[in-house]
């Protein structure tokens, strides 16, 4: 996975995905659980204002993950109650 190779090169990154088990099994270090597989960074079924808030929450969680030092794969969940 690209994420794993970037980490090996010293480039800190996070992966937003609907398939956390796959990302975990291939060794991605920072996994953000997003929406479904067609919209991992959002949810088009939400009203526009809530959808925007949800997207922002996912991106903030990805930034938080990048700032977090990890030694093994870690899963970061978005708090959907804040959308």
Given a cut of 50, whether residue 83 has pLDDT beyond it is: no
More confident residue, 24 or 1: 24
Its pTM surpasses 0.85: yes
Residues in the chain: 83
Domain map (residue ranges) of the chain: 2-82
Q: Is the pLDDT of residue 42 over 70?
A: yes
Which whole-number Å values give the CA distances from 62 to 19, 38, 47, 71, in the listed order? 15, 18, 23, 17
Average pLDDT over residues 19-46: 93
């Amino acid at each position: 996975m690209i994420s794993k190779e970037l980490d090996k090169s010293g480039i800190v990154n996070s992966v937003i995905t609907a398939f956390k088990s796959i990302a975990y099994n291939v060794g991605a270090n920072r996994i953000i659980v997003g929406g479904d597989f067609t919209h991992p960074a959002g949810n088009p079924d939400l009203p526009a204002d809530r959808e925007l808030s949800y997207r922002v929450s996912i991106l903030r969680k990805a930034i938080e993950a990048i700032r977090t030092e990890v030694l093994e794969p870690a899963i970061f969940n978005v708090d959907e109650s804040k959308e």
